[in-house]
A and B are shown apart, each in its own frame.
Chain A
């Protein structure tokens, strides 16, 4: 079945460092891809999404590009801040799979001042 694999972490960076969190997927068709973020003590929030190949999702300085050729959706940010400390989840959803949302295991990011 469809699945998502993401870099497990934890990831610790200094403020203003470059961030990459890897995410690859396995799917029988063409799913929509998402990155969710969970700040300490809160529920999941959608960070960005892409619904077809070559789409780039972006929000709050984060970006991810839907790459069909490498089945990837890596999350990047050029300069992280302490306030970006959170857990990041890659996910996919597909109409051919009853729209069941498949999440990766989550990657905890800690940004130090």
Chain B
């Protein structure tokens, strides 16, 4: 199906560590997103990007950073992880259908646990 990949799939780390969650897509999509999702709950937008060298803040952006040096790569970095960061992190990219709708493609997610 969708060619968007996230690594690692699961990560357990200690408080205070710096971590980078990787996201890559091979579809040539310009627009990419990072979302945070607690179990059974809604997505919260963390960051998004319109293309290379574009990064925008979402609702929960204050404790993380992103970069977009290449179209296919959109990594998310937490400078100092805390237990409150324990969650699932979803990366997505999008394209427009021929009917003008934006179609989202999600990666399989990274489940982060901070001890």
A binding-site residues for B, Cβ under 8 Å: 8-10, 32, 34, 36, 38, 43-46, 49, 51, 87, 89, 93-95, 99-101, 103, 105-108
Contacts and interface: CB of A to CB of B under 8 A. Distances in A.
Given A94-B40, A108-B101, 14 more contacts: A38-B102, A43-B33, A44-B43, A44-B45, A45-B45, A46-B43, A51-B40, A89-B104, A99-B39, A99-B40, A100-B106, A100-B108, A105-B101, A106-B102
Contacts, number: 64
Interface string B74-115: 000000000000001010000001011111101011000000
Given A10-B99, A87-B101, A106-B102, A43 B45 contact: yes
A44 B35 contact: yes
A5 B101 CA distance: 14
A34 B40 contact: no
Contacts of A36: 42-43
A38 B35 CA distance: 14
Nearest to B48: A43
Contacts of B41: 32, 93
B101 A8 contact: yes
